[in-house]
Structure 1
Amino acid sequence: MATLVPTSARHPQGLIPSGQLWLPRASLSACLRGSMVRSTVGYHLTDEQRINRFPATPLCSLSWWFEGRSEALVADRPDTMPGLHSPREAYPGRWVLAGPHTRPSSSYCAAPTHGMMVMFMPDALHLLTGLEPEALTNRVVDAQTVLPRDWIAMCEALQTQPDDAARMDCLESFLEPRWQACRPAHALQAQRYGDWAVHLAQRAAVSAPGRSLRQLERRIKRWAGLPLRELRGFGKAEQAFFDAIVAGENQGSVKWADVAASAGYSDQSHLCRATRRITGYAPQALYEGIHGDEAFWVYRIWAQ
């Protein structure tokens, strides 16, 4: 079954446990990137601490709430991150499906909340459901209006499971036979974004007649929802993220020029622009938020 990643011993003082990251069983590693579970039930949070920050992502996600609920925070301007007093919008359904996002997003939980977000590789979701990730890009939709009927039954069954381990088992038992029936012959096992983008380009080159650059780009965008150039950008940003986390743990501080160079950016300014575009924050502000702000729990889970 899925593997629960242990919570880091270096949990920031003054913050509640970030949540749990479940990694899929090996047979589903090319289908799922992971599942994040977060519960604030039983903890006292200030209003500011009820904000949740999410980066832009090439992944698709399917989300459940078992207690409480979240609302989307809407930024006043495209170049700013929303705050506590920003407008709020209810998510569109009991279970929501989100496509790849080219911009960071934020949500707010007014009451104690327990929820789960399952992160799918977009090309895998396309094979499993027939949905076009491109049509879901930068959108969050009511899952009951777009998913096949057997998926809705699975969503209902998962909702009624007694605990998170049982929920993951329910999900994986549903997905495994369907994924084995439709998975590519040579599916990639390691799912770092950079490796996945390369593999996707190789699949596009051999999957159908027509190998012009335009035809390959169309094929990739149909499978993944984003152009290859943007997928490669996510790969570099992910590499920089993990390099910064390791540098901070080993050295106590981060030299951003070194991180930029090791991840393949032209210079530190290039890294700063990319980080702002994906997360809404400059690298140092993001690093400080991960280590001291409740709202950045998603990043802390990913760094475990």
Structure 2
Amino acid sequence: MLTEAVVGRPDARLRPWVDRYLGYREDAPAPLVRREVAGAFVVLILGWGDPLDVHDPRATGRGTSGNAFLAGPFDGWCATRTAGTGVGVQVVLTAPAARRVLGLPLGELANRVVPVDRVAGWLTDLRDALAGTAGWTERFARLDAALAARLAATDPVDGRLRAAWRRLDVSGGAVGVAALADEIGWSRRHLAVRFRQEFGLPPRTVARLLRFERAYAGLGRTVLTAPAAGAGGAGWAERAARWGYYDQSHLIREFQAFAGATPAVLARPGSHPSYPG
């Protein structure tokens, strides 16, 4: 179970890129298994405790075991397993922010979990520095300095790609790829190729994930009433429409693909964990 969780706010200069840091300590006397939902973001774990196993059920060889790694973007759910004591910092980055901070195209990370020592030496050095620092305030200050240095050393992402991402994000994935391509002056094919190369997933998939992210967050605020959960399912049909899905079946298919369970199952007490970050 999570025995310590400390949220840190990055320096103001970093907030366009990083929303917050999460320092954690988790003690699991017995193996603890979780299902992690898909997302169009990158999760950076810089830990120094017992390892966490990450498994992608869709394919062998796409997981890892360790305490410091980069994950995602992922277009399917994963399972994690840990035992013992894990300590570290979690940073969740949007794809454009991760592309800038890491300085590498996210096509190299899509649907992968990679130990940080295989990505960049500065990440390994940062993890070691955090492990050797006492206190969360001091650790968060080290994160500020390291991320600011990366932003100063890396080139901006193409402005047209950033604009395309913003349009998808603001609309919750409601903008079509053809309209998006017209807005930035590219062909659909060129947009899809460049977007996937730089941000890890094609724009259509990102649109689906952004819509799912909002629905998943809304699910956490949903209070089921007896009529909504009844045999008629009118409550779920109404929610599907409100969250931008064609119908209830569409909602269920997307949740099964991205969360590994139906929204009705995830809405049960104790079944809906907080969204990453």
TM-score bracket, normalised by the shorter chain, equals 0.7 to 0.9
| Partner residue, 1:279 | 259
User: Which whole-Å CA distance do the structure 2 matches of 1:192 and 1:54 have between them?
Assistant: 26
Matched residue SS, 1:62: strand
User: Which whole-Å CA distance do the structure 2 matches of 1:250 and 1:108 have between them?
Assistant: 33
From 28, 46, 52, give the equivalent of 2:14.
28
From 220, 225, 246, give the equivalent of 2:221.
246
From 111, 117, 123, give the equivalent of 2:84.
111
| Partner residue, 1:83 | none
Matched, 1:224 2:195: no
**Which one-letter code corresponds to 1:65 in the other structure?**
G
Distance 1:151 1:68, change over 3 A: closer
Matched residue SS, 2:76: coil
Name the Cα RMSD after superposition: 3.9
Distance 1:34 1:68, change over 3 A: same
Alpha carbons 2:47, 2:127 under 8 Å: kept: no
Alpha carbons 1:19, 1:301 under 8 Å: kept: no
From 76, 79, 99, give the equivalent of 1:126.
99
**Which one-letter code corresponds to 2:72 in the other structure?**
G
User: Which whole-Å CA distance do the structure 2 matches of 1:215 and 1:174 have between them?
Assistant: 34
Alignment of 1:49-198 (within 5 A): 50-73=32-55, 75=57, 78=58, 91=64, 95-147=68-120, 149-179=121-151, 182-183=155-156, 194-195=169-170
Alpha carbons 2:2, 2:25 under 8 Å: kept: no
Matched residue SS, 2:245: coil
Higher strand share: 2
Alpha carbons 1:29, 1:191 under 8 Å: kept: no
Alpha carbons 2:222, 2:267 under 8 Å: kept: no
State TM-score, norm by structure 1.
Answer: 0.71
Structure 1 stretches of 5 or more lacking a match?
A: 1-14, 80-86
Show CA shifts across 1:124-156 (max 9, x none): 222233312112111112211221x43432232
State TM-score, norm by structure 2.
Answer: 0.77
Distance 1:302 1:151, change over 3 A: closer
Structure 2 stretches of 5 or more lacking a match?
A: 230-234
User: Which whole-Å CA distance do the structure 2 matches of 1:302 and 1:129 have between them?
Assistant: 19
Shift of 1:221: 1.1
Distance 1:155 1:110, change over 3 A: closer
Count matched residues: 265
Show CA shifts across 1:45-91 (max 9, x none): 554xx11221111111221223222123464xx49xxxxxxx99983
Matched residue SS, 2:84: coil
Matched, 1:261 2:261: no
Which fold has the larger relative contact order, with Cα–Cα distance below 8 Å and residues 6 or more apart in sequence? 1
Distance 1:33 1:228, change over 3 A: farther
User: Which whole-Å CA distance do the structure 2 matches of 1:253 and 1:18 have between them?
Assistant: 36
**Which one-letter code corresponds to 1:225 in the other structure?**
G
Shift of 1:183: 4.5
User: Which whole-Å CA distance do the structure 1 matches of 2:270 and 2:149 have between them?
Assistant: 42
